[in-house]
Structure 1
Amino acid sequence: MVPTKLFLHYLARLKQLLLVAERFDADVGTARLHPTMFPLLQQARTAIGFTLRSTCPLAGREIVSFGADHDSFASVHAQLDAAVAYLAAIPDEDFLVAARPVATTAGFAGLALDSEEYFLLYAVPNFFFHYSMVYAIARQAGVPIGKADFDGFHQYPPCFSFDSA
């Protein structure tokens, strides 16, 4: 299990989503799906943080953070770039050791999971929750993005719509 491959791919996708959203309307950074949920930029910061919170324990490292104390597209881009550089520098072999137990919190709940459970059942779903919220908030705000922007694999003809399919 080498989590950096997954996270580096989707952090690159997140970078593109944020660039398109920022060019479309910088105010989308403060948009929310619901009043009790984080706005787009905080969702992005949390997704980025989850890549480090997930990967560092699995590589036998202390969790690092590159987050800023404010939400702006510039600060989120800086956090994302620093996280990508850090993750890319972790050698694959750091993940090829025997399973490591991981202790963490989920909200106010304490968790103790083996490394595979931690990665597959906790870390990946939490990353994708926050990453998906960035996508959903941007789409709801009218940012011109689609599934191809989300995963980087799908392709559709220009002006394709599922309404006309």
Structure 2
Amino acid sequence: MSISLYQVSVPVFIKFLGNLSHILDKAATFASEKKIEQSVLLETRLYPNMFTFGRQLQRVTDHATSYSARLAGLPPPAFDISLTSIADYQALIKASIDFLSGIEAGQIDGQESREISIPRGTEVRIVQGQQHLLNNILPNFYFHLTAAYAILRNIGVEVGKQDFLGKS
């Protein structure tokens, strides 16, 4: 049995963004209980040259939505959301899930060889749909998701493997 490009992307992104929203709820509770300013939490990082917690969250949503949009032949979404609080990041996650929920399998399936143009500064990188998903997007999506999770674990937020994986 084969699986489709849509099945290994959009529903996976939606599921893990939902899990991230749940984890973010736990982070908000932790910040409140420990009397930690949300801005401090959002600026926390594992190492000086790594992205902050807030930036990790942005990258997770960016990888999911931009890839899915480009593969479906749509422009990547630009969410007009100020990102200064946990509620703002929750709004970004919700907007990302809403955007992804509007993409249908027929827009993505069959696009494995589709050439996608990705602007990189003054250059444009051309990649193929399936190869880009498997070798770049999914690894980056999970990398930033894991880094965000690790930042919270590192400061003492009680999240575990089930929070990361969610319910099947």
Same-fold status (TM-score > 0.5): yes
Structure 1's unaligned 5+ residue stretches are 155-165
* DSSP-derived class of the 1:34 partner: coil
Equivalent residue, structure 2, for 1:128: 142
Q: Secondary structure at the match of 1:7?
A: helix
Whole-angstrom distance in 2 between the partners of 1:49 and 1:148: 24
Alpha-carbon distance in structure 2 between the residues aligned to 1:60 and 1:75:
28
> What is the aligned counterpart of 2:21 among 1, 4, 15?
15
Whether the aligned pair in 2 keeps the contact of 1:49 and 1:67 (CA below 8 Å) is: no
Q: Contact between 1:104 and 1:110, CA under 8 Å: does it hold in 2?
A: yes
2-structure distance, mates of 1:50, 1:94: 18
Cα offset, 1:97, TM superposition: 3.2
Segments of 4+ moved more than 4 angstroms: 105-110
Count of equivalent residues: 154
Tell me the amino acid that sits aligned with residue 78 of structure 2. Answer: S
1:66 CA drift (Å): 1.5
Query: 1: CA distance between counterparts of 2:155 and 2:59?
Result: 20
Residue number in structure 2 paired with 1:158? none
Q: 65, 73, 98: which is aligned to 2:86?
A: 73
Instruction: Report the Cα distance in structure 2 between the residues aligned to 1:131 and 1:145, rounded to whole angstroms.
Output: 13
Deviations 1:33-76 (A, max 9, x none): 01122211121111111111111111111111225343321211
Corresponding residue to 2:133 among 119, 127, 130: 119
Paired residues of 1:22 and 1:29 also in contact (CA < 8 A) = no
TM-score w.r.t. the length of structure 1 is: 0.84
Q: Deviations over 1:3-60 (max 9, x none)?
A: 2111001000110111101110134222110112221112111111111111111111
Q: Which stretches in structure 2 are left out of the alignment for 5+ residues?
A: 32-37
Using the TM superposition, give the Cα deviation of residue 112 of structure 1 relative to its aligned residue in structure 2, in angstroms: 2.1
